[in-house]
Amino acid sequence: MFETEQRAPRPFFIAMELFNACNRISRFIPRAIGNSLAALEAQLAAERHQLPLWLPVFMGIGIIGWFILPHRTDWYALLCLFAAMCGLGISIGHSRLLGRALIISGVAASLGLALIWFRAEHVAARVLARPVVTNFDARVIAVEYRAANEKWRYLLAPLHRPDLPEKLRLNHSLAPPPDIIGGVLQVRARLVPPASASLPGGYDFQQVAWFQGLGATGTMLDPPRLIQSPGRRTLHHILNPLRASIADHITHKLSPAAGGVAISLATGNAGQMPAGDADAMRQSGLAHLLSVSGLHISAVVGATVLLTTSLLALSQRIALRLPIPIIGAGIAALTAIGYTLLTGAEVPAVRACIAALLILIGMALGRRALSMRLVATGVLLVLPLWPESVIGPSFQMSFAAIIAIVALHEHPKVKALLARREEPFIAKMARIILGLILTGLAVEIMLMPIVLYHFHRTGLYGALANIVAIPLTTFIVMPLEAAALLLDLFGLGAPLWWAVEQSISLLLALAHKVASLPGATLMLPSMGRPAFALMIGGGLWLLLWQTRWRWAGVLPVAAGAVLTALAPAPDLLVTRDGRHVLLRLDDNAVALLRGRAGDYMRTTLAEGAGMPTDSLTQGLADLQDRHDVHCSRDACTTRLHRDGRTWTIGFIRSDILLPWDEMRRYCRQLDIVIAPRRLPAACAPRWLRWDRPALETLGGAALSLSPPSIRQGESREGDHPWQRAAEKTSPSGLTVSRHSWFVTYQ
């Protein structure tokens, strides 16, 4: 007889094959990892001189991570991640370049997180608990005029009122008495806590006010009365009246339009420009000319160095015996510091002044005036002082622009193309103009994602406009204005003021012309953080490396651009308090739940929806005036058709409590219900219930229906100090589950 062969079951053979495959792979993995580490080590060796440039980048990553992550446990987890980077570097070996890079990067990121954490807790100040009307005495810190709303803005420090914040900001329509800085006013005002962002991607004044030490804002209800004149004069008390005196002098010499530009260049106060001219400057991409920053500081420093060295070189004895470049750099440094103080020493001006001082030191030492390492050094000097500025548009735009300029002019092909040479005058001028065009395009491309992220719009012709506007401002307007102010000391400045008027009028005419061109402004809804991070990270990768692997940065830039382009415009925008709603209807018309909303709220909603803000009157209708919307005194109801589905949406408008049964039946008919107050649990729509507590938790929301997606704002639930302060000022005083607003999805 034949014996039956015993065969192992099939799963056993499969398991054996998997085991053998894993064994072969395990032998291959160490070799593959070793080869990858060797290739990465060789690549880093080729980029050895560029590695220090990433030190401020990783410090910025630590700072940004602290802002993005909401809870203290998240910050500790992030510190653990950075510590793991250091541990990985130690395991690779500090003798290897990759190991040292990981260790230094982890330490830099941890230092950035620690800096912003300490800074946020260190600037802690009292925040007003709730809106209040009160009388108090306050010392005047600063006063400036805001032409956009025709108001005077007072920065005050209340006296003998421990229940009020240490610093607050008030508006009033009447001009203040002369020589008021440092004096004491008797004030009656309505004060409110600093407002947080009302929409996703909106301006979070609450966060900005925290780092500025502002605990309240408001409006004076009566004209302020000066009860004590300024006492001991400090530098601050001397510069503020001087700044106000210069602004008043320019106002009497120039028209309001030209005077607003001239005042912003001389004193740093851009609030006196007429609203129409300010909008034209923004839409044409020339608004950066109005705030004192790197362009203005560099113009002052360059003019001072040129004038000083030229005058000193006229004397043969001085030219032969004294180091003229060092003397010129020293005088230019003093001029830069004085101009920075005169213009208010705002953070952008201080950053530009620090960068200018570094350049002057490099020139005095015979080093190259501008390089990537100098830019990185400037960032490293700024971050310990103002780590919160990393998330602001001013810091991002100024350093992004300078990085783009330096990277462009350090590229070998561009350097060879723009190098000076013996050639006819026309060819030389054409080469200079080409350099200006390339520089403008590089800066505009680098700044576009930053401007879109923060302001939701960008000027498409800004690069071309800046080719004319920057030389006009730097080489004509500013020197003429400085000379006119100087000659006015002797009563001889009248001819130059005429020239200043004409040159600024030319600048404003250029701004209005560019702003009126078809498609001059690109409007987009709020850009998401992932898309913004991809574009900025990819851009830095492109600009900071020099070998061929820099082109890998094109992939994240392209991915971020695609995400931004494909992001749907919201069909529904709801503010944090639920009172203001923007709705995009079936015929693509846009309407507001409260048609009488103020200009600020209309502008905020229009920007959040990606609409041009110059069409606020015509573009935003009142929801109750629409024939396809049914409104009563208490509620409005409409239907939207998206992707073959009909959505029924209800908006509660009044604070009057509706009958229980009627409210329950009404909610049952709806897919979405939105209310500026708490809704009862019996109000159960088919999909979403956004009432006041839920919207406070969400921080406002943007809803797209094709396909359905929700984007929420900054929640009040977090451990950041301004969020902890906001919990005490919450109007509802309610704690709401993060997901209680989501009912069901059909």
Q: Which long-range contacts (CB under 8 A, 24 or more apart) does 442-446 make?
A: 442/404, 442/405, 442/407, 442/408, 443/401, 443/404, 443/405, 444/285, 445/404, 446/400, 446/401, 446/403, 446/404, 446/539, 446/543
Give the per-residue SS3 of 533-553. HHHHHHHHHHHHCCCHHHHHH
Output the pLDDT for position 504.
Answer: 92
Output the pLDDT for position 612.
Answer: 65
Task: Report how far residue 473's alpha carbon sits from residue 487's, in angstroms, rounded to the nearest whole number.
Answer: 20
Task: Report how far residue 716's alpha carbon sits from residue 452's, in angstroms, rounded to the nearest whole number.
Answer: 25
> Tokens 């230019």 label which residue?
332
Output the pLDDT for position 617.
Answer: 46
Output the pLDDT for position 15.
Answer: 56
Output the pLDDT for position 118.
Answer: 94
DSSP 8-state symbol, 254: S
514-564 confidence digits (pLDDT tens): 888 876 777 777 788 899 999 999 999 999 998 888 899 999 999 999 988
Mark the ranges of the chain whose per-residue pLDDT is less than 70. 1-34, 147-148, 231-238, 366-369, 519, 612-619, 716, 726-746
**H-helix or E-strand spanning residue 483:** helix 478-487
523-536 confidence digits (pLDDT tens): 777 788 899 999 99
Output the pLDDT for position 65.
Answer: 94
CATH number for region 132-231: 2.40.50
Output the pLDDT for position 64.
Answer: 95
Task: Report how far residue 566's alpha carbon sits from residue 148's, in angstroms, rounded to the nearest whole number.
Answer: 35
Q: Is 381 exposed, middle or buried (0-12, 13-18, 19+ CB in 10 A)?
A: middle
- Domain locations in the chain as residue ranges: 1-40, 47-122, 132-231, 245-523, 529-566, 572-729
